[in-house]
Amino acid sequence: MKRAKLGISGATTMPYDLFTEVRVLGESNVKYLEIWKDKLLKVAASGKLGELKELAQDQGVILFDINSLGDATMPKDTEKKIEECKRLCDIACHLGVGMITVCPSFLKEALSEEVVVSRSVETLAKLSEVAEEFGIKLAFEFLYFSKSSVRSLSAAKYLVETINSKHLGLLIDSCHLILGGSSLEELEHTPKELVFLVHIDDVKETKWEPRDEDRVMMGDGILPLKGFLKVISKMGYDGPIMVEIFSEELWKKDSRTIVEEVVERFRKLEAEVTL
């Protein structure tokens, strides 16, 4: 397969601040960074967004997206969520970031599919309008967790296609795709223009519903990642593939070691994919 554009999510290097992440990536062959929102808000509060942007430019690192705007389908306070979206879009514009990932709300009680879809379309449409005003794209990530209001590719695709905005697309995460019951075949038949961003990660086998912290390095888990990469390549997706691993064991390591291991594991996996 064609050599992929490799990126790293700030979740993979969670203990380290944005300035450290940018410097480490600048020394590596990884040039795409997914910014973890909480780290970014600390930089914004300190008045150092300009310094971060300048450092990224000097290091040749692309600040690609911000992760994430959560509770984005059925928030208790829609207006507050819209204001949060505006704030993130404004920061993104200052940094030259073109994308923000958005995640579904979690259900506290059982609701009909009709209610979930109606409210989700209404809220995501409003957020898309905000994003359009700023020239930002929103990448919607469905989550497999049992309480998630949007758990599958088909459900997420329906929302995106219903809203029909050039500023709203899909984020495909290998873990959420497979564990949510969606298939690689379904992914292969998804129009590539709907896919704004891709995450890759693996997950270990558990006797409970896998949690974020059950994710592991590519190849150490149970997911069919070779098949996943093969489909992503066949679709013609040419954006970065972000490695997103929530692992306390990984977080104990030096930031450079984490990045080196990510590059080694991903390129090894990629080399084993045959089209």
Helix, strand, coil in percent for the chain, rounding step 5:
45, 20, 35
pLDDT in single tens digits along all 275 residues of the chain? 789 999 999 999 999 999 999 999 999 989 999 999 999 999 999 999 999 999 999 999 999 999 999 999 999 999 999 999 999 999 999 999 999 999 999 999 989 999 999 999 999 999 999 999 999 999 999 999 999 999 999 999 999 999 999 999 999 999 999 999 999 999 999 999 999 999 999 999 988 888 888 899 999 999 999 999 999 999 999 999 999 999 999 999 999 999 999 999 999 999 999 87
Cis peptide leading into 28, omega within 30 of 0? no
What are the chain's domains? 5-271 (3.20.20.150)
Sorted by sequence, the CB contacts under 8 Å of residue 74 that are 6+ apart come out as 104, 105, 107, 116, 119, 120, 123, 149
Strands 215-216 vs 195-200: parallel, antiparallel or unpaired = unpaired
Dmax of the chain from CA atoms? 51
- Beta bridge partner(s), residue 67: 36, 101
